[in-house]
Amino acid sequence: MDTNGLLFYPPAKQTNLINPVVLAYVGDAVFEMIVRQYLVAKPNHKSNYLHRQATSFVSAKAQRVILERWQPLLTEHEADIVRRGRNAKSGAPPKNADLADYRQATALECLVGYLYYEKQTDRLRELMEIAFQDSSAAAGHFEEDNR
């Protein structure tokens, strides 16, 4: 058990041996938790506002945009993890998601899951800060796209 974080149950396999879809499964939850923590750290705690803001980060389209911001900053190893996630057979996208956006979102979630299991919290925090930069402009952009 990791007493310094939230990794209560480490994976049964080494992280690099875990199926990318499984890393994305965990990464999805970790990403959403970090987004929710970020939003609760802000002054507006109305549930409708929190939900709209969270959606502006966790939709497939939003995650694609975030991954595009991260791409030039990724190490070669991180870029390989992203490629594995993007190329993984993860099933059909949700009805409201474009296939290309969905694959990029899976790639982002795969990287987040990998960094989480590798306990690379400083790197994850660094990337999430980039995701949150200019978040008000990004949120407005995504809200317009979802109307």
pLDDT digits (tens, 9 = 90+) for 103-135: 999 999 999 999 999 999 999 999 999 999 966
The answer to whether residue 80 is catalytic is: no
- 43-51's contacts with Cβ under 8 Å and 24+ in sequence apart are none
Beta strands in the chain (DSSP E): none
Higher pLDDT, 7 or 48: 48
What is the pTM for the complete model shown? 0.85
Half-sphere exposure of 143 (CA within 13 A, CB side): 12
For residue 2, name the pLDDT band (cuts at 50, 70, 90). Answer: very low
Whether the CB-CB separation of 81 and 114 falls below 8 Å is answered with: yes
DSSP H helices, 41-98, are 47-58, 60-70, 76-87
Question: Inter-axis angle of helices 47-58 and 20-40, to 10 degrees?
Answer: 140
Nearest CA to 33 among 125, 130, 143? Answer: 125
Distance of CA 72 to the CA centre of its chain: 16
What is residue 135's predicted lDDT score, i.e. its pLDDT?
61
**23 φ/ψ sector (left φ>0, alpha ψ -120 to 50, else beta):** alpha
Q: Pick the catalytic residue from 28, 101, 122, 145.
A: 28
pLDDT digits (tens, 9 = 90+) for 49-95: 898 999 889 999 999 999 999 999 999 999 999 999 999 987 777 77
What is d(CA 27, CA 32) in angstroms, rounded to the nearest whole number? 8
Domains detected in the chain = 15-145 (1.10.1520.10)
What is residue 91's predicted lDDT score, i.e. its pLDDT?
73
For residue 44, name the pLDDT band (cuts at 50, 70, 90). Answer: confident
